[in-house]
Structure 1
């Protein structure tokens, strides 16, 4: 009887520990259907083993090519943890220190303030404490493709004015991860993409992950990004035959499959499985709370969270009393999420090749609750409705301007302001007549091209490519010093993605149109 009693307890414990497969299947399917996704891949690691995988949808909507565990997705900002991992490996190898000055490896590195330039350490590149505003300079990275190089990023930083004191405030940035990748290259003696292969992909067996330049046909099975239209999901920014080594690689350019991401999570959750890959000291450093982050109202209401902070490439928080290490990734038409619950040795990964911000949030929440609050029964519909109400409130508080009555601005109406303009970090744009209209064209960001429109007494750019989904207002002024024209930009939609950092631009006219 005693043996039967012990067995019963063990079986009950096992049943509670394992994820409810049918419930998770239902949640994934409901998310896929509710948000009309072109494709999704979901996986769960539990106690070092793959506990669940599910894939739905297509590489390209309507193609018939099904997504599977080997399909490559853009993991976007989940690349940051991989960049941090490369640096941690170099620290273990004695090739750099976290508190080394950045200028030790990149003498040309400059921030706007010379003192900050001198004080900026390698660790500061990873924790969003630079004093730059949210997404400062991101127009040098996105939309892709563009003509900015990593050298351009390093040169442009000195022209970006801080919005806060150094190390005083958290504000998410991407440019400094590009710098971190170049620091790794200088310290490691190889280009960033080669270091990632050498230090991560090869020793960890991430056989499908891609970094740097690669051939789409040779690699195969590559999900394409989509945007949702009234006619359904449509591919945007489709990969060419050769996928380039984009400037943003260290901040958000790596691609991986579901199986690769499961392997990546297993390494972090079960360090004994790969003890030689990273020392305990560096594992601790990566997951240490280096920069406090605000605890949002949603985190308090949904997760009963009490702290939030940034480590090296990871966000740290608590959910229902459980420690959470996580990150998200967002690019046009591609969304990812990695959620680790280290004390429970549980990891969740979500990869989406469509407009999936809400889907990622809702499904990530439902799956996390399976492990942090198994006694509760949250559903996709429940969290979707909470999110809808939250966003409706935000839209009411910050309404988007009504621009439906826009008209094409004539060259005559804009005659006082046409010309060629220059911003010290973004470079040149032209604002010149073409026939019966005026065109805005950025020299180094070809997707930022569009037609000038008039809305009452205001001006905006209607971008040619509708995947560039953040229109700017244009504000002209006579420059006080030279008497010539100045130009600044701002968002038409106050909820536009922060990477369209129009507020950081300060153009001055350099010459007339020819």
Structure 2
């Protein structure tokens, strides 16, 4: 840790003047992050007073090509702001209202609590206040690919039990944005992807952005996600020749280039650049704080923040007395971050095709500080070192995932009473059946949720075929009638692995089994 701080100090440049980005310092910060975080590729830009004052695009795409300003990246949850903007254009044209009940546009919409399903409004879809748990139902969206449709997502919501009362608190949610995309389609009379192109991308000149189904080969220049294995970056989950129409697209399925994202920032910061696109009232709605969020100690310390909350597709806060509007995007092997200081007409965006949690946070912090508190700004290594120290402390004091090295494959005759076909109310059919390769668990609609059952110290666990080791899950068979539940092994697991929301009930025998063994 001390080495990081010393190197950071060595790279520090003179304090930037308020209102002007220090490009030499940014170059040094990026070089430092590149050296210590081993990013495969990075595209980054800074907008100030309507002008792009800094650009950086370099690294490996993952297909043999090099990253430039037109390379497409998955922007992940930065798609949410675009979905909210699309809905705002429909509100402005009178095709829907923010306080419309969702069922006015989607009669099939239901929630576990019938009253909530009846009264949940369009604005509620965008501010994470539904009462569902963190990431509830995300297994219908990720991991990709899978066979769940948007209709499956809407139907599945009725089976997801809330963990708090409606509108009483914040819990990040992706499924509601999928519903929001379908509300837009219903109100606009066209599919979501077509509306996004016609109402956002085309009028704003975001010419490379892609949504819906599109040809990766024809569009070209597409960054591939990377993960870190054995000390090197490797492509994981590479595109085929066609990028499919993703069920998750309204929540996190859009791809854009650095040039597109700088244009997006410019138009958001200066309405005069596209005066006919969206009026002042709807712009204000997007950046109004609608749902308070917990304010963390690091945010208080680093940013002198006093408030924090969710707007419509945006996180809204203060930073050193400046209004800040921002969001991040995270998918396996692909990270993005975008932050605006609207009163200063400053915007920063970065797109990374690798695992970059700490790099993204530290680089954004060091860049924004040049504008919000230049006398207190630190080089990126300072923030990176603090993040690493926090991680080390949590690892030393927090709960740890148990080692699974001693696990042994279950025999085909194990769990005989529970072998068979199952169904979860929202994830659908699954199997726990013997094969020539031992006892296997599989989910019909999710080809990546396929696992070998293993035994460890009297417990059963699922070793997924293709998912990372941190995604391993306990398989918990209950006393009869046979039911199955899953629980994450790693307490730090990504919240989108919402195994705790699953409850499988046996529906029949394994194919060709002749009935369960007793």
Q: Which residue of 2 aligns with 1:449?
A: 450
| Contact 2:413–2:434 (Cα < 8 Å) also in 1 | no
Q: Which residue of 2 aligns with 1:259?
A: 259
User: Structure 1 CA distance, aligned partners of 2:274 and 2:419?
Assistant: 60
Q: Which residue of 2 aligns with 1:361?
A: 361
Query: Quick check: 1:109 aligned with 2:109?
Result: yes
Q: Which residue of 2 aligns with 1:385?
A: 385
Structure 1 SS opposite 2:58: strand
| Contact 2:324–2:341 (Cα < 8 Å) also in 1 | yes
In structure 1, runs of 5+ residues without a counterpart are 1-12
User: Structure 2 CA distance, aligned partners of 1:339 and 1:377?
Assistant: 17
Q: Which residue of 2 aligns with 1:417?
A: 418
Q: Which residue of 1 aligns with 2:3?
A: none
Q: Which runs of 4+ in 1 moved over 3 A?
A: 13-16, 466-469
| Contact 1:175–1:251 (Cα < 8 Å) also in 2 | yes
User: Structure 2 CA distance, aligned partners of 1:108 and 1:376?
Assistant: 53
| Contact 1:332–1:467 (Cα < 8 Å) also in 2 | no
Structure 2 SS opposite 1:264: helix
User: Structure 2 CA distance, aligned partners of 1:380 and 1:96?
Assistant: 44
After TM superposition, give the deviation of residue 31 of structure 1 in Å: 1.1
* Matching of residues 197-212 of structure 1 within 5 Å: 197-212=197-212
User: Structure 2 CA distance, aligned partners of 1:394 and 1:205?
Assistant: 44
User: Structure 2 CA distance, aligned partners of 1:129 and 1:398?
Assistant: 28
Which stretch of structure 1 is more off in the superposition, 374-383 or 170-179? 374-383
User: Structure 2 CA distance, aligned partners of 1:405 and 1:369?
Assistant: 48
Listed one character per residue, the Cα deviations across residues 34-69 of structure 1 (whole Å, up to 9, x for unaligned) are 111111101000000001010121110xx5411000
TM-score normalised by length of structure 2 = 0.94
Which stretch of structure 1 is more off in the superposition, 408-417 or 454-463? 408-417
Listed one character per residue, the Cα deviations across residues 122-179 of structure 1 (whole Å, up to 9, x for unaligned) are 0000000000000000000000000000000011100000000000010000000000
After TM superposition, give the deviation of residue 413 of structure 1 in Å: 2.9
User: Structure 1 CA distance, aligned partners of 2:118 and 2:151?
Assistant: 19
| Contact 1:111–1:117 (Cα < 8 Å) also in 2 | yes
| Contact 1:76–1:252 (Cα < 8 Å) also in 2 | yes
| Contact 1:236–1:467 (Cα < 8 Å) also in 2 | no
Q: Which residue of 2 aligns with 1:321?
A: 321
After TM superposition, give the deviation of residue 417 of structure 1 in Å: 2.3
After TM superposition, give the deviation of residue 14 of structure 1 in Å: 10
* Matching of residues 430-449 of structure 1 within 5 Å: 430-435=431-436, 437-449=438-450
TM-score normalised by length of structure 1 = 0.94
| Contact 2:18–2:371 (Cα < 8 Å) also in 1 | no
User: Structure 2 CA distance, aligned partners of 1:73 and 1:322?
Assistant: 29
Structure 2 SS opposite 1:240: coil
Q: Which residue of 2 aligns with 1:5?
A: none
After TM superposition, give the deviation of residue 421 of structure 1 in Å: 1.3
After TM superposition, give the deviation of residue 387 of structure 1 in Å: 0.8
* Matching of residues 266-415 of structure 1 within 5 Å: 266-395=266-395, 396-415=397-416
User: Structure 2 CA distance, aligned partners of 1:304 and 1:421?
Assistant: 51
* Matching of residues 79-90 of structure 1 within 5 Å: 79-90=79-90
After TM superposition, give the deviation of residue 366 of structure 1 in Å: 1.1
In structure 2, runs of 5+ residues without a counterpart are 1-14, 512-518
* CA RMSD after TM alignment: 1.4
* Matching of residues 104-253 of structure 1 within 5 Å: 104-253=104-253
Q: Which residue of 2 aligns with 1:50?
A: 52
| Contact 2:334–2:352 (Cα < 8 Å) also in 1 | yes
User: Structure 2 CA distance, aligned partners of 1:500 and 1:384?
Assistant: 27
| Contact 2:148–2:445 (Cα < 8 Å) also in 1 | yes
Q: Which residue of 1 aligns with 2:503?
A: 506
Query: Quick check: 1:22 aligned with 2:19?
Result: no
Aligned length: 496
Q: Which residue of 2 aligns with 1:8?
A: none
User: Structure 1 CA distance, aligned partners of 2:221 and 2:431?
Assistant: 40
Q: Which residue of 1 aligns with 2:430?
A: 429
Q: 1:331 to 1:468 in 2, by over 3 A?
A: farther
Q: Which residue of 1 aligns with 2:482?
A: 485
After TM superposition, give the deviation of residue 467 of structure 1 in Å: 4.5
| Contact 1:143–1:468 (Cα < 8 Å) also in 2 | no
Q: 1:444 to 1:16 in 2, by over 3 A?
A: same
Structure 1 SS opposite 2:418: coil
Q: 1:36 aligns with which of 35, 38, 45?
A: 38
| Contact 1:227–1:467 (Cα < 8 Å) also in 2 | no
User: Structure 1 CA distance, aligned partners of 2:192 and 2:470?
Assistant: 31
User: Structure 2 CA distance, aligned partners of 1:126 and 1:354?
Assistant: 27
User: Structure 2 CA distance, aligned partners of 1:24 and 1:417?
Assistant: 58
Structure 1 SS opposite 2:416: coil
After TM superposition, give the deviation of residue 16 of structure 1 in Å: 3.6
After TM superposition, give the deviation of residue 436 of structure 1 in Å: 5.0
Structure 2 SS opposite 1:340: strand
| Contact 1:31–1:380 (Cα < 8 Å) also in 2 | yes
User: Structure 2 CA distance, aligned partners of 1:182 and 1:316?
Assistant: 25
User: Structure 1 CA distance, aligned partners of 2:320 and 2:17?
Assistant: 20
